[in-house]
Amino acid sequence: MKLQNLFAMQEDLDRFIQTNREVKEDVFRKKGLALLVELAELANETRCFKFWSTKGMSERSVILEEYVDSIHFLLSLGIEKGLDHLELWPEPVAESDLTELFLGTFKAVQQFLSEPSMANYKEAWSWYGGIALAMEYGYDEVLDAYIQKNQTNYDRQNKGY
């Protein structure tokens, strides 16, 4: 999937939020923590690791919204480090077990945060692609959900969230 439109939308949203909230500091590390928190929320909604429980996954739409919250922060972190020329979503990792996917994604995000290179950035995207594949989310579905949440984020700012 082409990422250029997503980067452009994210850049506009980030600029709007930072102007609106009068952000002056470097928020790379805060966005990094935000991504890890979103990833944990996503894992929690899938309940993939809850071997002690019989309750199933949350609704597909709920999980997809958590997923695109992560995509917002992943894009945003790339923009912060001037890596927004990444054109295509890198190949997803070949792993189908959600628990392994989440553990691998946490590690890849942490590696990117300690060394924000393009190679590490691509690796994080590949792990996120693996999660989408395992969840059977198509790129169009991810794109639509991203656009919808992007608009919600503007609405929230405008409402003084």
Ligand X SMILES: O=c1ccn([C@H]2C[C@H](O)[C@@H](COP(=O)(O)OP(=O)(O)OP(=O)(O)O)O2)c(=O)[nH]1
Residues in contact with ligand X by CB under 6 A are: 13-14, 17, 69, 72-73, 76, 149, 153
Q: Quick one: 2 or 30, whose CB is closer to ligand X?
A: 30
Q: Quick one: 67 or 89, whose CB is closer to ligand X?
A: 67
Residue 160 has which token pair?
A: 């003084």
- Residue identified by tokens 């922060």 is 73
Classified as helix, coil or strand, 20 is helix
Min dist CB 51 to ligand X, Å, is 26
Q: Quick one: 72 or 122, whose CB is closer to ligand X?
A: 72
Does residue 142 contact residue 71 with C-beta atoms inside 8 Å? yes
Question: CA-CA distance, 8 to 160, in Å (whole number)?
Answer: 24
Q: Quick one: 69 or 95, whose CB is closer to ligand X?
A: 69
Min dist CB 71 to ligand X, Å, is 8
Min dist CB 32 to ligand X, Å, is 12
CB atoms within 10 A of CB 47: 15
Min dist CB 17 to ligand X, Å, is 5
Min dist CB 45 to ligand X, Å, is 12
| Closest residue to ligand X in the complex (CB) | 72
| Torsion over CA: 10, 16, 21, 25 (sign) | positive
Residue 111 has which token pair?
A: 């590696």
Q: Which residues pair with 29 in a beta bridge?
A: none
Q: Quick one: 93 or 124, whose CB is closer to ligand X?
A: 124
